[in-house]
Amino acid sequence: MTEQRRQELEARWQQCCQPLPGSIPYLNQRPCRIKAKEEGLSFREVLSNRFPGKLSDAEWEQVFLDGLIVRKSDGEAVTDSQLLVTAGHQYLRLLPDWVEPAVATNLKVLAEDEVLLVIDKPAPLPMHEGGRFCKNTLIHLMGEAWPELEVRYTHRLDAETSGVVICVKGQRYRSAVQKSFEQGQVAKSYLARVLGHPNWENKLVDRTVPAEGRWWGQALQARTEFSVRERCQDGTTLIEARPLTGRTHQIRVHLWQEGFPICGDRLYLPEGQLGEVELAGVGAEPLALRCWKMSLPHPVTGERIIRSVEPSLRF
């Protein structure tokens, strides 16, 4: 990739971020598909169960009266909150004048060939739609900036984690890259700055973590290798982490379980405490976790490629 091509891609990205598409008020439409276990419940019960504590019964009632629940098939409003739902039926929850939180936009293009596009994802930036985000996401912005490339990421980073993301162009080679992940042919290394100084130099942590980061859900076994790179005078330590499994929040949870939470983590707090807010706004103390190196076999040539960003204590 030439420097001119790199600058072109980054300029097109920045153009799509000024302003961020989610900063302009729009009608957000959230899908709601009735699950089998919800069969026969009233619609208001379904929403109250899915979003406990979000709205009172009276507030949910007003949502229905305002016509903000509609059938996906024909757009007809459902005004009766006591409607008994049927499994498989699909609806939309309308959120008028929706504005998404700001996200980081200082994305860098690291490499490109006929198949792959490698980027340095900034943080905070969610990779896909969820929660408060729909348009201010990596996948949406890539589609706006580079529609002809049809890029899709091959792996995920948390919204607050920065670093290397490898994307595939088009659909032809996506299955080959996915197979590399499934067969354990992809190696990833992260850098984390943690609170405290471990009394070990290298450690393999083999402990369960919550599925999808939700503590009330299923526990999954996860394995991570850790190595100390530098103990700092400010009481923090720079650690290299190599996940051997691919669980949500795996590195964050393992370091937290070991008593060394990552600096800037608002969910996994010191002394084994859990926070309530995970994603911080732009300008807040960043999560000191960065995917700094990845290697995998090229889907066309089979040659092992390595892509990295500069390792640093600065996050």
Residue 312 covered by a domain: no
Q: Collapsing DSSP states into helix, strand and coil, what is residue 48?
A: helix
Sheet of strand 26-33: strand arrangement: 26-33, 90-98, 69-71
**Residue 53: what pLDDT?**
83
Residue 240 covered by a domain: yes
**Residue 43: what pLDDT?**
96
3-state helix, strand and coil shares in percent for the chain, rounded to the nearest 5: 25, 35, 45
Residue 315 covered by a domain: no
**Residue 210: what pLDDT?**
85
Query: Looking at the 3D structure of the chain, how many domains does it have?
Result: 3
The tens-digit pLDDT sequence of the chain (315 residues) is: 899 999 999 999 999 999 999 999 999 999 999 999 999 999 999 999 998 888 998 999 999 999 999 999 999 999 999 999 999 999 999 999 999 999 999 999 999 999 999 999 999 999 999 889 999 999 999 999 999 999 999 999 999 999 999 999 998 999 999 899 888 899 999 999 999 999 999 999 999 998 766 665 678 899 999 999 999 999 999 999 999 998 889 999 999 999 999 999 999 999 999 987 667 777 788 899 999 999 999 999 999 999 888 766 555
285 φ, ψ (degrees, to nearest 5): -60, 125
Residue 304 covered by a domain: no
Residues 133 and 223 in one domain: no
Within 10 A of 12 (CB to CB), how many other CB atoms are there?
Answer: 14
Residues 229 and 245 in one domain: yes
Residue 56 covered by a domain: yes
Full domain range(s) for residue 254: 187-297
Residues 191 and 283 in one domain: yes
223 φ, ψ (degrees, to nearest 5): -130, 130
pTM: 0.88
Model confidence over 77-130: pLDDT tens digits? 999 999 999 999 999 999 999 999 999 999 999 999 999 999 999 999 999 998
Residue 220 covered by a domain: yes
